[in-house]
Structure 1
Amino acid sequence: MKIAFVSQLDSKNVQSWSGTPFFMVQGLRQAGHSVKEIGPLHPPFPRFFKLLQKAYQVLTGKCYDFSRHPLLAKTLSKQAAAQMAGEDFDAVLCPSSLVCAGLDTAVPIVTWEDATFAGMVGYYPGKWQNFANATIRHGNQIQQASLSKAALSVFSSDWAAQSALSNYKVEAKNVVVVPLGANLTEVPSEEEVRAAIHARTQVGECRLLFIGVEWHRKGGDLVVQTALALREKGINATVDVVGCQPVGAMPDCVRPHGFVSKSTTEGREKLRLLLLNSHYLFVPSIAECYGLVFAEASAFGVPSIARATGGIPTAVQNGLNGWTLGVDESAQAYAELIASQLESNETYIKTALRARKFYEERLNWRVAVASLESLLEPLVPQKC
């Protein structure tokens, strides 16, 4: 199958959207498909619109996101069409509704996103809490146009798919869920994971791993509070913080590592060792579309612990690769959960091995692309 992969972001850059466009393309190619990368796509006059956006906020106190204006979205679609001109494709795959909304093509369009615009407004912090009415109107118009144009709208979680069905006019048969895979260039072998899991039971401490670039949104304070609650129970809990610096004074059990880049050999090796040696990935985000890091932790046989919010319950399923608790649960509740899982080495080992199995069966790009293939085949006309 020849696929046009149309992305506003640079799909050759492993840093873009945590590497998701890059790994989508690689997964399709490894499955034997011919993929032409269309993009990156650039809105016109970015400096001008950035200044205009700042001026609008100063004058009104509201955020007007010019990237959500229908004319700018149409410009992106025109750029994509120009790069596709003169070639025949079997399908178009877009990881963004912004590009898909105005794209005119005779071949079936499939989107693969982690959220809808309506699902994000008022849910994520920052600008999503303060959009101008015009931005909300335009953002919803673009999302609706994308859903109407796409032959199939794929979402990474049940939360995102339900948001599409609840907030927009779209047929249920055209909305499906395919979880995203782990964005890893090197996956540890099953033997390496088994050895690491057994080694964790011998270290005499509970190593919690927090990965996130936004301390507050990712729930960093709750992680530290939980570690202290565990220590009060006599469990020697530590916290490795990756991606950001903790905010405020931290106890000695917290070890900040700062931002660790996946684009360097040193960064990948550091992340690999942290994951192999950690008992749990603990990222209790207050808002999250999906959580690629949960898939990556599962590949290392590291159970995840998180809040049951947004798309997380698709990426972290209770008893399979970790646990989620309610959004209002306390640090004490998380500490009790972790302590119960550490009561015996046998319990922990079984839990960690289930996480690895869940990765192999559900949270990798081979499985994700195979699911996408089965959905694409009925849409693509058979060639004589």
Structure 2
Amino acid sequence: MNIAFLSSLNPTDIHNWSGTLYYIYQSLQKDHSVTWVGQQQYAGAIDFHHSNYSDDTPFISEKYAPLFGKELSELFDYECYDLIICRDYFFLAYLVTEPPVIYIGDTTFRLFNQYMQIKDMEFLRMAEELEERAIQKANHIVYSSEWAKISAVADYHADPEKVSVIEFGANIDDVPPFQDDIPNSTCNLLFIGKNWEMKGGEKLLDIYHEVKSRGIHCTLTIIGSGPEQDVNDSNIEIYSYIDKSTSEGKVTFRQLLSRAHFLIAPTLFDCYGIVNCEAAAYGIPVITSDVGGVGQVICEGENGFLMPIDAEASDYADKIQDIYLDTERFDALRKKSRQHFENRLNWEVWRVKMNAVFDRLLEDEEGFYIPVYAINVKERKDRRDHIVKEFENKPEFQFNLIEACKHPKGTIGLWNSMVNIVKLAKEKEEDVIIICEDDHYFTENYSRKLLFKEIQEAYMQGADVLSGGIGGFGQAIPVGHKRYWVDWFWCTQFIVVYASFFDKILSYEFKEDDTADDVMSALTNNKMVIYPFISEQKDFGYSDVTRSNMDNQGRIREHFAWANAKLQATEQVCQLNKR
């Protein structure tokens, strides 16, 4: 699936949104072609603002929501995506687009402002309106907690049926093996948080001292922030910053979590708490405030404990003491914490659940399909397995495997196979078909919406043949946003053939030295190709049709590389001429 990831923040930068945006993006890329969209529009709005307003007028992205809506609607009108995932309400509020949109996040504005306490009434009205518009505009909404879903339904009148709760995972690359036991001569407390005050840092120190006062040998490791005053305690270690994107940072983070007995998080506010998922990955029980969406991650008594926000340090110390001194209970809690990570608090589970949402969302769009006839030599099982797999889970195609006609000369066998397919298509009175060879594969540029759009527009321009990707051509002229007319072409691994061309194919007397691509190029002037290519040929190391490809391993990939480079250059020249 071809997905547009609409975000003002760079999803390939692990430092944004505590790394969550990065892991969402990486998870989506495992199954789909994902493109970050929005950076150009956001940067353009900032440049416009700085050019037209004084430095003491702050840039407020919400004020540019109508402009974002206009620009992005125009973009999605000609860029073909199957699905849009949007993170920012100011991008979505005024968006008008055909592909379905999923709005994703961990809170609503109303909930967020319960902590922020913004008093600017003009901004509040604007933000509330944008949030409501975005929620109503979205085809589906995915939150990380029931807490956020309840607000969307109650505060913004969201249809409960179009809101899913899918828990975020732990933002770690290398999942540690679970330690059956860890040394317990010292109780190692852990705190992770960038905002010392908001995350309850001062209460944390009180908790630490309270535990120590009870005769429990205790250490405290602080990651991400720290108190303003110097801490004169050899048992307190402070790591103000650990960059988990570096090898050194990963090692340090892993070492610190591997020795921890409890994660202490007396936070004043948290929409979810990714750090609690990370603790679960290491089998670390969490003792935290019952605020925001934290209760989605922490199941009471299983992977941690939820404390009232006004709980005293002594209340936390009581819990730590009870669990730590009961070895059997503590070990069971650690194992259960790890199970919560493995069963639900990881990005693999998130990926599977998100794909299920995609499937449900796109079900309504299914129903129209195009017949595909894939040619395969019966003895070539490796190619047959390959081509069948290429069309798996693509309901937009009615897939038919056609046994290739045998002939001492492969070019003639291929043509005869194509003729038989066209005869069959004509008998069925089909308007358009796809003829496919068994070495075809879909590139990352493939999109159902793109293919159908190009098929329809090429038909309206009188095309007889539309190729998904070619290995050679002479001249190319742009006739659509992602479609070129070509004077001739090589390679027929994926070609759309219209009914207007059927009789020409059937009436042609194929000659000994002919090739299918040369003949099709000669039979019609109305031939086009989609670019960037949605189809190319896989090099199996042999060819049943073309002798030169058989004798020169890797030649076919060279052809496609050359055609790609030439069309890219053509595209760049066309763009320059538009300026």
TM-score, L = length of structure 2: 0.60
Most deviating of 356-365 and 239-248:
239-248
Higher Cα Rg: structure 1 or 2? 2
Contact (CA 8 Å) 2:76, 2:97: kept in 1 or not? no
Provide the rounded CA distance (Å) in 2 between the counterparts of 1:309 and 1:115: 12
Listed as ranges, the matches of 1:265-304 within 5 Å are: 265-304=247-286
Tell me the equivalent position of 2:37. Answer: 38
Which of 199, 221, 224 is the equivalent residue of 2:182? 199
Provide the rounded CA distance (Å) in 1 between the counterparts of 2:311 and 2:121: 33
Which of 91, 97, 105 is the equivalent residue of 1:113? 105
Tell me the equivalent position of 2:95. Answer: 103
Tell me the equivalent position of 1:67. Answer: 61
Provide the rounded CA distance (Å) in 2 between the counterparts of 1:50 and 1:4: 34
Provide the rounded CA distance (Å) in 2 between the counterparts of 1:272 and 1:378: 38
1:15-69 per-position Cα deviation (integer Å, ceiling 9, x unaligned): 0111112111111122x22212224333334547684446xxxxxxxxxx72222
Listed as ranges, the matches of 1:110-189 within 5 Å are: 110-121=102-113, 123-124=114-115, 128-189=116-177
Q: How many residue pairs get matched?
A: 360
2:29 counterpart of 1:29: yes
Q: Sequence identity, in percent?
A: 29
**Residue 245 of structure 1: CA displacement?**
2.4
Most deviating of 326-335 and 230-239:
230-239
Tell me the equivalent position of 1:62. Answer: none
Q: Specify the code of the residue in structure 1 equivalent to 2:5.
A: F
Tell me the equivalent position of 1:245. Answer: 226
Q: How large is the RMSD of aligned CA atoms in angstroms?
A: 1.9
1:230-259 per-position Cα deviation (integer Å, ceiling 9, x unaligned): 111111122111111223353513221111
Contact (CA 8 Å) 1:219, 1:283: kept in 2 or not? yes
Which of 296, 313, 321 is the equivalent residue of 1:314? 296
**Residue 263 of structure 1: CA displacement?**
2.1
In structure 2, stretches of 5+ residues that fail to align are: 367-395, 398-579
Q: Specify the code of the residue in structure 1 equivalent to 2:290.
A: A
Listed as ranges, the matches of 1:320-339 within 5 Å are: 320-339=302-321
Provide the rounded CA distance (Å) in 1 between the counterparts of 2:243 and 2:66: 34
Counterpart secondary structure, 1:4: strand
Provide the rounded CA distance (Å) in 1 between the counterparts of 2:38 and 2:253: 29
Tell me which protein shows more strand as a share of its residues.
Answer: 2
* Cα distance change on mapping 1:220 and 1:28 into 2, 3 Å: same
Tell me the equivalent position of 2:3. Answer: 3
Q: Specify the code of the residue in structure 2 equivalent to 1:133.
A: M
Contact (CA 8 Å) 2:27, 2:348: kept in 1 or not? yes
TM-score, L = length of structure 1: 0.88
Contact (CA 8 Å) 1:101, 1:143: kept in 2 or not? yes
Q: Specify the code of the residue in structure 2 equivalent to 1:212.
A: G
Contact (CA 8 Å) 1:225, 1:331: kept in 2 or not? yes
Provide the rounded CA distance (Å) in 1 between the counterparts of 2:111 and 2:254: 33
* Cα distance change on mapping 1:142 and 1:200 into 2, 3 Å: farther
* Cα distance change on mapping 1:131 and 1:67 into 2, 3 Å: farther
Counterpart secondary structure, 1:23: helix
Higher relative contact order (CA 8 A, sep 6+): 1
Contact (CA 8 Å) 2:257, 2:279: kept in 1 or not? yes
2:204 counterpart of 1:223: yes
2:241 counterpart of 1:259: yes
**Residue 129 of structure 1: CA displacement?**
2.0
1:319-350 per-position Cα deviation (integer Å, ceiling 9, x unaligned): 22111111111110110011111123222111
Provide the rounded CA distance (Å) in 1 between the counterparts of 2:278 and 2:193: 13
Contact (CA 8 Å) 2:190, 2:222: kept in 1 or not? yes
Contact (CA 8 Å) 1:194, 1:353: kept in 2 or not? no
**Residue 87 of structure 1: CA displacement?**
3.3
Provide the rounded CA distance (Å) in 1 between the counterparts of 2:314 and 2:87: 39
Listed as ranges, the matches of 1:67-86 within 5 Å are: 67-69=61-63, 72-81=64-73, 84=76, 86=78
**Residue 313 of structure 1: CA displacement?**
0.6
Contact (CA 8 Å) 2:118, 2:124: kept in 1 or not? no
